[in-house]
């Protein structure tokens, strides 16, 4: 039985959704060349994303955390922050008047990311004897990757304060 030449047979190539090979319309050498060109583009996007994340941390998040650390100290809370290059930046807040960590706010760059779609992990505990409760979500939902680099220090501070406030209210009002 002959199959008409106009029928396109599509395959999922190399696990890339939407990648199609049309039988009889391109040769394998072109497909191979295109594959390696696409891999170079992906590698370049990953390198640019790492660079953008490091710039975001250095020029926006770290100065915001420095400003917040100065202000929150007047309430007896110490804020320390640490950056793991190309991976995450975290801010740790202590219990008021203590050196023990109560709350952590962490912005994460997913492994092998090709754009600045960041994650957020928060964890906190009600008192020194309680377990940390961890929450993971998208960093500033609804924000496009291009808008991340346009955030201000104030935007970062407001987000941290909002998550910290919500955690504290939840911890103080929960029956546990």
- Residue 19 domain-assigned (yes or no): no
- Residue 132 domain-assigned (yes or no): yes
Question: Which pLDDT score, from 0 to 100, does residue 20 have?
Answer: 56
Q: What is the pLDDT of residues 33-55, one digit of tens each?
A: 999 999 999 999 999 999 999 99
Residue 59 DSSP label: I
Tokens 């696990």 belong to: 15
Does the pLDDT of residue 10 top 50, yes or no? no
- Residue 151 domain-assigned (yes or no): yes
- Residue 57 domain-assigned (yes or no): yes
Q: What is the pLDDT of residues 53-86, one digit of tens each?
A: 999 999 999 999 999 999 999 999 999 999 998 8
Q: Which stretches does DSSP call E strand in 34-158?
A: 79-84, 88-94, 101-108, 119-124, 133-138
How many structural domains does the chain have? 1
Q: Which two tokens stand for residue 141?
A: 């939902």
Cα distance between residue 53 and residue 123, in whole Å:
22
Cα distance between residue 73 and residue 96, in whole Å:
9
Torsion angle of the four alpha carbons 5, 11, 17, 22, in this order, in degrees rounded to the nearest 10: -30
Residue 100 DSSP label: S
Mean pLDDT of 9-33: 61
Does the pLDDT of residue 128 top 80, yes or no? yes
- Residue 27 domain-assigned (yes or no): no
- Residue 24 domain-assigned (yes or no): no
- Residue 25 domain-assigned (yes or no): no
Q: What is the pLDDT of residues 135-173, one digit of tens each?
A: 999 999 999 999 999 999 999 999 999 999 999 999 889
- Residue 156 domain-assigned (yes or no): yes
Range of the domain at 141: 39-173
């Amino acid at each position: 039985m002959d199959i008409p030449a106009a029928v396109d047979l599509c395959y999922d190539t190399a696990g890339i959704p939407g990648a199609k090979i049309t039988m009889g319309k391109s040769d394998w050498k072109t497909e191979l060349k295109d594959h390696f060109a696409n891999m170079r583009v992906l590698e370049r996007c990953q390198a640019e994303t790492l660079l953008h994340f490091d710039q975001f941390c250095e020029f926006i998040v770290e100065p915001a955390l420095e400003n917040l650390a100065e202000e929150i100290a007047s309430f007896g809370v110490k804020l320390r922050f640490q950056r793991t290059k190309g991976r995450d930046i975290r801010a740790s807040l202590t219990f008021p008047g203590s050196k023990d960590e109560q709350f952590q706010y962490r912005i994460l760059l997913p492994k092998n990311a090709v754009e600045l779609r960041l994650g957020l992990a928060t964890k906190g505990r009600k008192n020194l004897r309680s377990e940390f409760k961890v929450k993971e979500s998208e960093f500033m939902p609804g924000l496009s990757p291009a808008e991340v680099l346009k955030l201000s220090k104030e935007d970062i501070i407001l987000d941290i304060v909002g998550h910290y406030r919500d955690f504290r209210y939840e911890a103080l009002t929960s029956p546990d």
